[in-house]
Structure formats: structure tokens, C-alpha cells
Amino acid sequence: MAASGAVEPGRPAATAAPSAAPAQAPAPERLFRPISAEDEEQQPTEIESLCMNCYRNGMTRLLLTKIPFFREVIVSSFSCEHCGWNNTEIQSAGRIQDQGVRYTLTVGAQEDMNRQVVKTDSATTRIPELDFEIPAFSQKGALTTVEGLISRAISGLEQDQPARRANEEPVAERIDEFIVKLKELKQVASPFTLIIDDPSGNSFVENPHAPQKDHALIIMRYNRTLQQEEMLGLQAEAAPEEKPEEEDLRNEVLQFNTNCPECNAPAQTNMKLVQIPHFKEVIIMATNCENCGHRTNEVKSGGAIEPLGTRISFHITDPSDLTRDVLKSETCSVEIPELEFELGMAVLGGKFTTLEGLLKDIQELVTKNPFTLGDSSNPGQMEKLQEFSQKLDQILQGNMKAHFIMNDPAGNSYLQNVYAPEDDPQMKVEHYKRTFDQNEELGLNDMKTEGYETGPAPQR
């Protein structure tokens, strides 16, 4: 398949024949290697397969790899040397995410057509301006670009046009007119909107402006509906049974079995309730995998969403300021105006660490982004990343003053006040009323807490 990622719809995928070319499999502990052009041991597995176009034998190549800061994926490619037919697709090898994701991209320039896109089988693609939709599970997954998605749709519509012209000429004419509109989109004569909605949460759209915020791209994570759970083959969890007495879990460390997010081996997660002074209770969860050594921790608020959102502005003036404790919830965004940097909601997840630890996590996330490194990056973007990393190092070393802003619409984030209970002269805490869009992201607009009874209460 070309760079556009065009796969002809309607053709069944190639099926593997019993015979297979010899290939050396990687060690089990490194089955999914990080994608790298310098890894000479990372070679695809070749399998002789039946071509469903000419029914002669072709070759299927499978590559099990891991995209840094994203997911494990299986890239497969089939080619037939007899008829020239080829087919490529990508499948997620990781688990289905806890939430679905919706990417809304406003394409306004030719550069936007070159954004890299990971589209899974379960993703729905829409272009509202043309009232055009590609339903979920109608195409195979693909690692392509925005232009590739449109080219793939054009190829699918053009495939059966000869038969339509012979049997249903009016329908064929209308489809020809629609194909012309799709081809005009590739020229970006006028801005249009591309929406990728994936209930599995495994799709991805590149942000070429990292570490700055991408104003053309809106990322929204949401809880799946019952229909989406059934579509993905998941069962809704049964409601927990009510206990006659509430147990005091503050002094206990709870343990439950889970799977390692790196190697998928059985692991154990520890969970404990912790009371943060002058704040509230939080839940700290930590997972340690004995198989691969991977460690992860996550923090969630143990209380409800606050009536008002919280904005914390802190002025970093001394290296000792970096030792302050920080609780960043999943709904909290972070800004550093001096670096023109903004970290969106849900990125990095919930964390309970120090200010220095959070800044180092941000530096690692930005500087090791695979889409801004290597041959695919441009010099201007590399210079911006190097400048950003140098300024962040100056802040970590105490050589540069900066403002650190935490904005949490749910009001569940915290920055330590070393002068408590007195006011901190370097910190400003503001409480504000949430906007409609912020309530929508938190799922509060559809939540009814008053007058939800089916009928009036009986009179006494």
C-alpha cells in the first residue's frame, strides 16, 4: 500500500497457508520491541499466504512493535508478486482503554493533511461538511495520514463504480459528484472538520506543534455507552453488593490482581486511602510487575467533584520551591506561561509527587515524543524542543523564575502550602464557577440530582 494507506474495501484479507518461511522469533520478554530504525534485530516475520485476488501464493509480513508513549501494535503487510495486489493494516495489541476518545481536527492548511493518524477498526470517521461517515468496523485499522484517510475513502467509492454505471446510472452519477468533493478536500481549498471517534480509546492524531497546545485539535475522552460496550465485546460490570457496615479502610493496604500494562503478565496492585493535610482524602494505587520490573502509580480523588473549580498560581523563585508536594488529578491542566506551554486534561493521569518530579515527567513526555524525533521531524520543530528543554532545565536548577499554574475544573488538585494555615505569599488560589463546556467534559450537564423521583412522595 502507498503512503496514503489505501486498502480496497470489499476484498477479503489474505489467509495464511500452512507453509511459512523460516523466521527467528524474538525473545518472549521482548516480543514487542520499541520501534527504531537502529534496531537490526527487529525484523518482520514472513508467512506465505494465499492472495484473494488471483488465488496464487503471496507473502504476508508481520511486525510486532511498540510505538513510544502510545501502544503496542501489530503491523501487517501483504503483497502478491503475481498480480501486484497489496494490502496493509494495523491492529492494536494492547488492551481496550478505560475510556473512549474523540479527536476533532480543523484542517485549514496543506500541512494538516500530513498529520500522522492511527485509526483502529472500531473508530468512526466523519466529515460534517460533506455529511460523510465511515462506520466502525467497515475498514481495517491503518497507520496513515489525514490525506491517506481521504484517499482510502475515494478508493473504496471508486471500486464498484463500473458495476453501478451499468445497473444504476443515477446512483453512480451522484457518487461521482461526491468523489469530486472528496478530491477537492485534499487541496484544502476551504477549511473542513475531521472527527475520529474511537470507543476503544486506541486511535491517535498527531500534534505537530508539541510542546505547545494545538488549537486546531480537540481531544475529548468519554465514558462508553452500553451499546459501545456491547460493540467492543465488553460486559457491563455488575453493581457491587451493599454491605451492612462500612469498613474503615484508612489504615489498610488493599490488594487486588491485575495485568501489567507493559508485558500483560499477572501483577498485583496496592491501593490505600491517604489523608492530605489541609486538603482531602485521595486514593493512591501502585502496581509492581515482578516479570518485567515495570512500576506505575496513579492517584484519584477520594471525594466528590467540588461545587467550584480551582485555579492555583504559584511563582517559582527558589530551588526549595521544587520540593513542595503536588497532587495533580486527571481533570487538571498545567500551564507554564514563560515557556508558552500547556498540558491538557488527562495527560500524565493523576499524580501525587513533588513539583520537581512533575516537571521532570513533563520534560520526558515532550522531549521523547516519537513524532518529533528522527528523520520525520523538521529542523524548526527540533529547535523549539531543544529551547523548551533548556529553559525547563534552568527552572529545575533554580536559574530561572517561572509561574506554575494548575487549573482543575473538578477542584481536586492540590499544591502544598508551607505556610499553612497562613496564606502563602508565592501562591494564589482562586475558586471559579465552571463553564458549560467544562461541566460537559465532567459529565455534569446530564446528571440530575434533584427531582429525579418517578412520582410524587406520598402525603402523610
For residue 147, what pLDDT is reported? 92
Q: Which three-class secondary structure state does DSSP give residue 46?
A: strand
User: Which segments within 214-278 are labelled E, that is strand?
Assistant: 217-222, 254-259, 266-275
Query: Is residue 43 located within the same domain as residue 160?
Result: no
Query: Is residue 321 located within the same domain as residue 284?
Result: no
For residue 371, what pLDDT is reported? 61
Amino acid (one-letter) located at 18: P
Closest CA to 310 of 409, 420, 425: 409
Within-domain flag for 40: yes
Within-domain flag for 190: yes
Number of domains in the chain: 4
Cell of 174: 451522484
For residue 107, what pLDDT is reported? 93
Query: Is residue 192 located within the same domain as residue 313?
Result: no
Q: What is the DSSP letter of 407?
A: E
Q: Which three-class secondary structure state does DSSP give residue 78?
A: strand
Within-domain flag for 140: yes
Within-domain flag for 8: no
CB atoms within 10 A of CB 299: 21
Query: Is residue 110 located within the same domain as residue 224?
Result: yes
CATH number, residue 333: 2.60.120.1040
Distance CA 239, CA 255 (A): 20
CATH number, residue 263: 2.20.25.420
- Its pTM stands at 0.46
Q: Is the bond into 211 cis (omega within 30 degrees of 0)?
A: yes
Distance CA 104, CA 100 (A): 13
Distance CA 158, CA 152 (A): 10
Cell of 115: 498529520
Query: Is residue 315 located within the same domain as residue 431?
Result: yes
Radius of gyration of the chain (CA): 26
Instruction: Give the C-alpha distances (Å, rounded to integers) separating 53 from 2, 6, 254, 432.
Output: 18, 16, 56, 62
Q: Which residues pair with 63 in a beta bridge?
A: 75
Query: Is residue 37 located within the same domain as residue 153?
Result: no
Query: Is residue 270 located within the same domain as residue 155?
Result: no
Closest CA to 331 of 409, 220, 438, 215: 409
The pLDDT tens digits along the chain (460 residues) read 333 343 333 344 444 444 444 444 444 445 666 656 566 666 788 889 899 889 999 999 888 877 654 567 778 888 999 998 888 777 766 678 888 999 999 999 999 999 988 888 889 999 999 999 999 888 888 878 999 999 989 988 888 888 888 888 889 999 999 999 999 999 998 899 999 999 988 888 888 887 788 889 998 999 998 888 888 887 655 445 555 555 666 677 888 888 888 888 888 888 887 776 666 677 778 888 888 888 877 777 666 788 899 999 999 998 899 999 888 888 888 999 998 888 887 777 778 888 998 888 888 887 776 666 656 566 777 777 788 888 888 988 888 899 999 999 888 888 888 888 888 999 999 999 988 888 888 878 777 666 665 555 444 4
Q: Is 400:378 a contact under the CB 8 Å cutoff? A: no
Query: Is residue 266 located within the same domain as residue 177?
Result: no
Query: Is residue 166 located within the same domain as residue 264?
Result: no
Query: Is residue 389 located within the same domain as residue 281?
Result: no
Within-domain flag for 14: no
Which of the listed residues 301, 317, 333 is the one where a domain comes to its end? Answer: 301
Closest CA to 251 of 230, 220, 267, 274: 274
Instruction: Give the C-alpha distances (Å, rounded to integers) separating 123 from 94, 198, 206, 372.
Output: 16, 4, 16, 25
Within-domain flag for 337: yes
Distance CA 262, CA 272 (A): 23
Domain that holds residue 340: 309-371+379-442
Buried b (16+ CB within 10 A) or exposed e, 257-285: eeebebbbeebebebebeeeeebeebbbb
Q: Is 179:140 a contact under the CB 8 Å cutoff? A: no
Give the count of alpha carbons within 13 A of 252, CB side only. 6
Within-domain flag for 189: yes
Closest CA to 77 of 90, 55, 91, 60: 60
Query: Is residue 75 located within the same domain as residue 53?
Result: yes
Which of the listed residues 55, 70, 92 is the one where a domain comes to its end? Answer: 92
For residue 1, what pLDDT is reported? 36
For residue 278, what pLDDT is reported? 60
What is the 3-state secondary structure of 282-307?
EEEEEEECCCCCCEEEEEEECCCCCC
For residue 193, what pLDDT is reported? 94
Q: What is the DSSP letter of 351?
A: E
Q: Is 159:11 a contact under the CB 8 Å cutoff? A: no
Within-domain flag for 85: yes
User: C-alpha angle 126/182/1, rounded to 5°?
Assistant: 85
Query: Is residue 140 located within the same domain as residue 172?
Result: yes
